[in-house]
């Protein structure tokens, strides 16, 4: 089971202190999705992965995290309205704002991670259109991350984002000759290419790869 407690955080932008729910402990039963979204119950703690200061609107994983943004930057219309993206889910909006903050801070990978969380919140709210849009943005941002960090997990994440945002041809051409050192990673990549060929945008988990490639 998951346990929660309440903790106080002081906003790095306005200096005010607020209480937030924090995960004490959780667990995960089952395999993660192909974009590494954890299985329940960890999956269900998503609402604790972002905090928004009720006073100044600063959103980040934790509001006490140092940032280069200030109150004026946070009061801009583009931040307040998520660059014109009308999310159905309030949680998706918070993740999108955390993406904007981290991008401004030059934390590209963290910004991309928040876009992925934003897509998951959209999935949960059945906000399909914005889920596709945000996945496409995350795929482009991880391309930047991969220029300096050649991680296989990031490549696999990017394959899933490309496929689930409908960029099948790009996935197939970019990853046609890419090989992975890890056997499971290679199987996942082959599975992704097969799905892309079939223009399949559904959500799959790592367990599906094992049962469908044996």
Q: How far is the CB of 59 from Zn ion (least distance, A)?
A: 10
Task: Locate 63 and state its tokens.
Answer: 């509001």
CB 21 to Zn ion: min, Å: 18
Q: Could you say whether residue 101 binds Zn ion (CB under 5 A)?
A: no
Q: Which residue stretches of 86-202 are H helix?
A: 90-104, 108-124, 128-146, 152-164, 168-174, 183-197
Helix/strand/coil for 63: coil
3-state secondary structure of 148: coil
Work out how close the CB of 102 gets to Zn ion at its nearest, in angstroms, rounded to a whole number.
16
Stretch that binds Zn ion, among 6-14, 28-36, 43-51, 174-182 (CB under 5 A): 6-14
Residue closer to Zn ion, measured from CB, 13 or 137: 13
Beta bridge partners of 51: 60
**Helices 128-146 and 108-124 sit at what angle, rounded to 10 degrees?**
160
x/- map, 38-57, Zn ion, by CB under 5 A? ---------------x-xx-
Query: From the list 14, 103, 125, 205, which residue makes contact with Zn ion (rule: CB under 5 A)?
Result: 14
DSSP summary character for residue 30: S
> What x/- string results for residues 52 through 91 when contact with Zn ion is judged by CB under 5 A?
-x-xx-x---------------------------------
CA distance 172 to 159: 9
In sequence order, the β-bridge partners of residue 4 are 23
Which residues form the interface with Zn ion (CB under 5 A)?
Answer: 11, 13-14, 53, 55-56, 58
């Amino acid at each position: 089971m998951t346990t929660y407690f309440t903790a106080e955080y002081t906003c790095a932008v306005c200096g005010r202190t607020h209480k937030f729910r924090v995960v004490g402990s959780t667990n995960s039963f089952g395999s993660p999705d192909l974009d590494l979204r954890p299985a329940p119950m960890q999956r269900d703690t998503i609402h604790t992965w972002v905090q928004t200061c009720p006073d100044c609107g600063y959103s980040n994983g934790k509001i006490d995290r140092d940032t280069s943004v200030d109150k004026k930057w946070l009061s801009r219309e583009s931040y307040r309205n998520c660059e014109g993206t009308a999310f159905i889910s309030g949680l998706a909006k918070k993740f999108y704002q955390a993406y904007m903050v981290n991008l401004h801070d030059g934390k590209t990978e963290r910004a991309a991670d928040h876009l992925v969380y934003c897509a998951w919140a959209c999935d949960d709210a059945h906000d399909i259109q914005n889920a596709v849009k945000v996945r496409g943005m995350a795929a482009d941002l991880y391309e930047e991350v991969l220029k300096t960090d050649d991680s296989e997990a990031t490549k696999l994440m990017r394959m899933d984002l490309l496929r689930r945002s409908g960029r099948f041809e790009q996935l197939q051409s970019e990853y046609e000759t890419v090989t992975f050192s890890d056997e499971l990673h290679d199987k996942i990549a082959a599975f992704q290419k097969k799905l892309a060929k079939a223009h399949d945008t559904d959500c799959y988990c790592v367990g599906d790869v094992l049962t469908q490639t044996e």
